[in-house]
Amino acid sequence: MTAQSQLTPSVDYAQRIERVLKHLEATDFTEVPDLDEMAGIAALSPFHFHRIYRLMTGETPAETIRRIRLARATNALEHSIGEATQAAGYATSQAFARALKSETGHTASEIRQSESLREGLSHQLRRPASVQSPLAVEIVEAEPLMLTALRNTGAYPELNAVYQRLFDLVFSQLPIEELGGLYGYQHDDPRCTPPEACRAEVAVDVGGKAELIEDLYHIDVPGGVYARLRHYGDYDAVQPTMDALYLAAIDAGYALADQPLHLHFLDDPEEVAMADLRCDLYLPLSINPSA
């Protein structure tokens, strides 16, 4: 993989997220849209939607829904706290009052007594603050890879044991000299997905030579153009670097390919101090490699 250029402006994802926001603002939430449905509205791959949404809006879809419900409830406070509780979708007025105070800094009684406060908060709650980043990252052209992998569902900091099992299965067959690289996929954002539900794939590059015993399988990583950003330090703290990479690509206007971001771990935590660990993040772009 070799660096070729810096990201330059192309397309904008803001309109896609705007479609989702308008859809959420128009729904009555009798049935809350799931992530796949919202990804379809945004015309984004489910691989990327939850991260792009969070980065463009500064919140998760669940937080947006909570905020919109509270916005509707501030208007209903003019009539009664009970009506506002129902409009916000809370089971009890106490739960509604706590959520409203946490979100706005005002009590339900204060908001009910002030028309100007109700109007201001209703407007404020209907729209998230946008998130911007001036960061530029490298564009690299990558050769295809065949990785040997294991799947796991669970907290990402516990993946060391899964990597150990991967090594035991692969290098019981092959000499360690066949190792061409250590890779991984983190398909969920642990800041908005319960740790026990986070999906990951751990992988090694051994040129596809390992026999697929037990749960081993191959991942074909397409060649093509990627946005790349290097993470330094604790591998368990990689999420902010992912954010920065997504933001840079979005701000620059690149369209993302319909495949997930992958990580290339460059150092062994057992041999390198945590502060000196390096990991390259590769975000696939939907552009012609020769362009």
To 5 degrees, how large is the angle CA 53–CA 70–CA 108?
145
Predicted confidence (pLDDT) at residue 155 exceeds the cutoff of 80: yes
Res 7: pLDDT? 37
CATH number at residue 271: 3.20.80.10
| pLDDT tens digits along 45-92 | 888 888 888 877 778 888 888 888 888 788 778 777 888 887 777 778
Least confident of 131-145, 182-196, 254-268, 277-291: 131-145
Residue 3 confidence (pLDDT) above 60: no
pLDDT at 146 over 60: yes
Residues 161 and 238 in one domain: yes
In a 13 Å sphere around the CA of 103, the CA atoms on its Cβ side amount to 27
Burial class of residue 108 (count of CB atoms within 10 Å of its CB; 0-12, 13-18, 19+): buried
Average pLDDT over every residue of 159-182: 95
Q: Which pLDDT score, from 0 to 100, does residue 236 have?
A: 86
Give me the CATH number covering residue 25: 1.10.10.60
291 part of a folded domain? no
Residue 131 placed within a domain: no
CB distance 278 to 231 below 8 Å: yes
Number of domains into which the chain is organized: 2
Q: What is the pLDDT of residues 236-260, one digit of tens each?
A: 888 888 988 988 887 777 888 989 9
Question: Given this model, what pLDDT does residue 181 score?
Answer: 95
**Dihedral sign (CA 240, 241, 243, 244):** positive
Identity of residue 220: D
Domain limits for position 185: 138-284
User: Is 130 within the bounds of a domain?
Assistant: no
The answer to whether residue 187 is domain-embedded is: yes
Under the banding of pLDDT at 50, 70 and 90, the label for residue 8 is very low
Spatial strand order of the sheet with 278-284 comes to 2-6, 138-142, 224-232, 278-284, 262-265, 181-186, 199-205, 145-153, 217-221
What is the pTM for the complete model shown?
Answer: 0.65
- Residues in the chain, overall count: 291
Q: What is the mean pLDDT of residues 97-115?
A: 80
